Homo-oligomer: A and B are copies of this chain.
């Protein structure tokens, strides 16, 4: 099959935070758009985007931004998709591709699908890339280089728009793969959502300490805690929405986590060094596999 080049005449970026602005930079680097139209809800952020020259046009009105676009990428918190879909649905051009970057796929699909006109191709996608920084000034062209982009194609979507979006993301620097929707939400629950929730918890526990203790925890953070604070500095609105919209997978994974933690806790309580040693040895194998998979 011949895949159309990943170039678009008009790309509309809805949402211009860390991910939206990085898409703009990477698009420019690869020359993927004749015109980039930027929309974001906050007038102040739109001004910032303009000052950073992230687009070719800037629109407070979302319908103006998507009008005539052949690719619309929505990079907003996963709780905001229904509102966006309702607004943009009637204004999308036939044949346009609508995509997203949400960390949860089933909920985004449920929010978007009812509002899409015939002839518009909705191709849900999720780049596994980010930093703890947020906002339009946080983006950079290299964010997606060598990182995975997971596409969860919907039944009935033709191959051409899916392949075209894949080619686009590869041109942005990503490796691409396809996955079933619920499988995506479960795997990301383990690799991303659970670690974030735990990091938020541990750092929150420290934030509850009285001032003097907290000062010491910060001073001696290099002994392990520090790695958690980076994760727990991620965007609060984005993560609130992730947990509210991947509730079932996250709660299911938490159940396993509690069971496993209680086993280790019981071993500590009863002085069962054999169990601790066995469990701590097993986990080294996972690290080795990650290094071999060149993910570290």
Chain B residue with Cβ nearest A223? B192
C-alpha spacing A226/B128, complex, angstroms = 12
Chain B residue with Cβ nearest A250? B268
Judge whether A202 is part of the interface by a CB distance below 8 angstroms: yes
Judge whether A276 is part of the interface by a CB distance below 8 angstroms: yes
Report A211-246 residues with CB < 8 Å from chain B CB. 213-214, 216-234, 236-237, 239-241, 243-244
Judge whether A9 is part of the interface by a CB distance below 8 angstroms: no
For A277, give its contact among B194, B195, B237, B287 (CB under 8 Å). Answer: B237
Interface of A is mostly: helix
Q: Are the CB atoms of B128 and A220 closer together than 8 Å?
A: yes
A32 smallest CB distance to B (angstroms)? 23
Chain B residues contacting A256 (CB-CB under 8 Å) are: 205, 208
Q: Are the CB atoms of B290 and A200 closer together than 8 Å?
A: no
Chain B residues contacting A205 (CB-CB under 8 Å) are: 190, 194, 253, 256-257, 260
A77 smallest CB distance to B (angstroms)? 10
A293 smallest CB distance to B (angstroms)? 5
C-alpha spacing A148/B38, complex, angstroms = 47
Judge whether A132 is part of the interface by a CB distance below 8 angstroms: yes
Q: Are the CB atoms of A218 and B251 closer together than 8 Å?
A: no
Report A247-288 residues with CB < 8 Å from chain B CB. 247, 250-251, 253-254, 256-257, 260-261, 264-265, 267-269, 271, 273, 276-277, 279-288
C-alpha spacing A192/B226, complex, angstroms = 9
C-alpha spacing A187/B213, complex, angstroms = 8
Q: A273-B240, A280-B239 are in contact. Are A223 and B191 (CB under 8 A)?
A: yes
Q: Are the CB atoms of A295 and B218 closer together than 8 Å?
A: yes
Judge whether A154 is part of the interface by a CB distance below 8 angstroms: no
Chain B residues contacting A128 (CB-CB under 8 Å) are: 220, 222-223
Report A112-134 residues with CB < 8 Å from chain B CB. 128-130, 132
Q: Are the CB atoms of B269 and A195 closer together than 8 Å?
A: no
C-alpha spacing A209/B186, complex, angstroms = 12
Judge whether A76 is part of the interface by a CB distance below 8 angstroms: no
Q: A201-B260, A218-B295, A289-B218 are in contact. Are A247 and B268 (CB under 8 A)?
A: yes
Interface-centre pick from A132, A224, A225, A290 (highest chain B CB count, 10 A): A224
Q: Are the CB atoms of B207 and A202 closer together than 8 Å?
A: no
Which are the 4 A-B pairs with shortest beta-carbon distances?
A: A236-B280, A195-B224, A233-B287, A192-B223
8 contacts across the A-B interface (CB closer than 8 A): A188-B223, A190-B225, A191-B223, A204-B264, A204-B279, A227-B230, A229-B286, A250-B268
Q: Given known contacts A79-B273, A205-B257, what 17 new A-B pairs fall within 8 Å (CB)?
A: A128-B222, A147-B222, A191-B217, A194-B202, A195-B223, A197-B261, A197-B264, A198-B202, A200-B279, A201-B261, A204-B283, A206-B286, A222-B295, A224-B231, A243-B276, A244-B273, A247-B269
